A = this chain, B = another copy of it.
Amino acid sequence: MKKKPNIDRIFRALGDPTRRAMMEKLSQGPMSVSRMAEPFDMTLAAVVQHLQVLEESGLVQTEKVGRVRTCRIEPSGLDAMEQWIRDRRSIWERRLDRLGDLLAEQDENR
């Protein structure tokens, strides 16, 4: 039951609805921090903190040129998460294939 530190960060980052909304906004294309902040009812500083979480998780990449920091989605960022989902699914399905649902329950639940 060990886990990679990064998948922890990814799931944690997207557990917050504001950060998910930010990812949705960023899907429109790369944009500055202040542009990112526009639709949100909170201070710039708060938005920046959310962006940091997203960046540390590898979901977002940023680059500062001049006084403007441009944010973009890191397309491979969700790979680990998708893999986790696939893994869960394949394990259940293997189980369900091997035995009938009820039979399995009786067998392993004693």
Residues of A within 8 A of B (CB): 1, 3, 8, 11-12, 14-17, 20-21, 23-25, 27-32, 39, 70, 72-73, 75, 78, 81-82, 84-85, 88-89, 91-93, 95-96, 104-105, 108-109
Query: Chain B contacts of A12 at CB under 8 A?
Result: 15-17
Partner of A14, one of B15, B29, B72: B15
Smallest beta-carbon distance A67→chain B, Å: 14
B3 touches A17 (CB 8 A): yes
B30 touches A105 (CB 8 A): yes
Q: Is the interface of A mostly helix, strand, loop or mixed?
A: helix
User: With A and B bound together, what is the CA distance between A27 and B104 in angstroms?
Assistant: 12
B17 touches A109 (CB 8 A): no
User: With A and B bound together, what is the CA distance between A12 and B16 in angstroms?
Assistant: 7
Copies of this chain assembled into the complex: 2
Smallest beta-carbon distance A46→chain B, Å: 17
User: With A and B bound together, what is the CA distance between A78 and B89 in angstroms?
Assistant: 9
A88 touches B78 (CB 8 A): yes
